[in-house]
């Protein structure tokens, strides 16, 4: 099964993508994480994208094309794949379809995990990440067991650079202006599953699984 997961910032699309990957044994592509890791390591790619990310802007399409191509070439896609956070604008969705077409990959469903802007801001300002192992927490919905420390490696949790209130507002604006048209495109195509993201993670996961089976 080949899936795209979209949703506003803080919708929990990453958490849902990871559950689907585990349950269905799918490959996983998350450009946002690749960019964060590269920026952390200060590689050439990392330096190129860091400035866009910290301002809440999308990185340029040619960069996306390159990382997507590298992923599609290197990965085992025999069981299917989850694309988390791509395509984010209409021009990316064209490139994306072309690239998938070349690899004979057909998209089965696009899953939209939807939450309000108010909820998005509330959740993102509570998000914390472990700088050591990358595990993601949320002080409201998924808190660490002790203080603000990672359950796995006990490092002190931090906020992501692009999660200042200004950057969050900019990311939401980008989502509204550039990504919502992509959602509309998949809705028109008849492959969009619209999921209420303002529920507990496991309830949402069960809902997605049920609807993927029912609406095959
Ligand atoms: P995310 O974790 O998916 O919110 O991604 C974090 C940041 O990475 C975004 O704010 C963008 O700057 C960049 N990014 C991730 N995916 C894309 C994409 N498909 N197109 C452009 N920029 C992206």
Helices (H), the chain: 13-24, 31-41, 44-54, 61-74, 90-102, 117-124, 165-174, 180-189, 201-214
Does ligand 1 come within 6 angstroms of the Cβ of 9?
yes
Average pLDDT value over all residues in the chain? 93
Atom of ligand 1 nearest to the CA of 171: 10
Distance from the alpha carbon of residue 32 to the mean position of ligand 1, in angstroms: 4
pLDDT band at 216; cut points 50, 70, 90:
low
152-168: pLDDT as tens digits: 999 999 987 777 788 88
> Is pLDDT at 40 greater than 80 in this prediction?
yes
pLDDT value at position 90? 97
pLDDT value at position 167? 82
> Is pLDDT at 176 greater than 70 in this prediction?
yes
Does ligand 1 come within 6 angstroms of the Cβ of 12?
no
pLDDT value at position 161? 73
110-122: pLDDT as tens digits: 999 999 999 999 8
Q: What is the mean pLDDT of residues 106-134?
A: 93
Distance from the alpha carbon of residue 208 to the mean position of ligand 1, in angstroms: 23
> Is pLDDT at 69 greater than 80 in this prediction?
yes
What is the dihedral sign for C-alpha 33, 39, 44, 48? positive
């Amino acid at each position: 099964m080949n899936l795209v997961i979209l949703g506003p910032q803080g919708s929990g699309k990453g958490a849902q993508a990871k559950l689907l990957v585990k349950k269905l044994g799918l490959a996983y592509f998350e450009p946002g994480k690749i960019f964060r890791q590269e920026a952390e390591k200060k590689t050439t790619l990392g330096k190129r994208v860091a400035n866009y990310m910290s301002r809440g802007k999308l990185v340029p399409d040619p960069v996306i094309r390159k990382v997507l191509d590298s992923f599609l070439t290197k990965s085992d896609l025999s069981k299917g794949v989850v694309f988390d956070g791509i395509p984010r604008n209409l021009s990316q969705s064209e490139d994306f379809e072309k690239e998938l077409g070349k690899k004979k990959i057909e998209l089965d469903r696009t899953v939209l995990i939807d939450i309000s802007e108010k909820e998005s801001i509330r959740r993102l300002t509570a998000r914390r990440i472990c700088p050591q192992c990358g595990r993601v927490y949320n002080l409201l919905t998924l808190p660490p067991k002790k203080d603000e420390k990672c359950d796995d490696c006990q490092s002190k949790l931090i906020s992501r650079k692009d999660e200042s209130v200004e950057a969050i507002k900019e990311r939401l604006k980008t989502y509204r202006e550039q990504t919502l048209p992509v959602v509309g495109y998949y809705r028109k195509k008849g492959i969009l599953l619209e999921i209420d993201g303002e529920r507990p993670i496991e309830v949402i996961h069960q809902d997605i699984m049920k609807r993927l089976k029912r609406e095959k």
